[in-house]
Amino acid sequence: MDENVQVIAFDIILHSGSARTMVHEAFKFMRAGDFEKADTKLVEANQELLKAHHSQTQLLQDYAKGKKIDMEIIMIHAQDHLMTTMTLREVAIEMEHLYQNK
């Protein structure tokens, strides 16, 4: 088992999980009509997603350099977690426009 892959996977899960929590906090602020706080949470979520993406990029760079990467179920879970959270943030941005225009 490649310990580096596990560390990267858990780093992706950590940061995307934090981002998901921030997106849900943004939804709460949107429902309350506090769009300034919602925007702040969405920016913070994006910063966490960038950290997760940075970890993912490191793994891809290693692969591009010819390093053999043994894919593990935890990495598949991490990738799913990251992509789902990125999509949730995109939906939140669109929903904020809807909340503001109601």
Instruction: Say which of 24, 77, 81, 97 is annotated catalytic.
Output: 77
Contacts of 9 (CB under 8 A, 6+ apart): 72, 74, 75, 77, 78
Contacts of 89 (CB under 8 A, 6+ apart): 19, 23, 42, 45, 46, 49
Contacts of 50 (CB under 8 A, 6+ apart): none
pTM, rounded to two decimals: 0.90
Cβ atoms < 10 Å from Cβ of 98: 9
Question: Is 77 designated active site?
Answer: yes
Task: List, in order of start, the domains of the chain with CATH numbers.
Answer: 3-100 (1.20.58.80)
Token reading at 51: 């950290």
Q: What percentage of the chain has pLDDT greater than the value 90? A: 80
- Alpha helices in 32-102, H assignment, sequence order: 35-64, 73-100
Instruction: State pLDDT tens for residues 19-57.
Output: 999 999 999 999 999 999 999 999 999 999 999 999 989
Instruction: State pLDDT tens for residues 49-86.
Output: 999 999 989 888 988 999 888 888 999 999 999 999 99
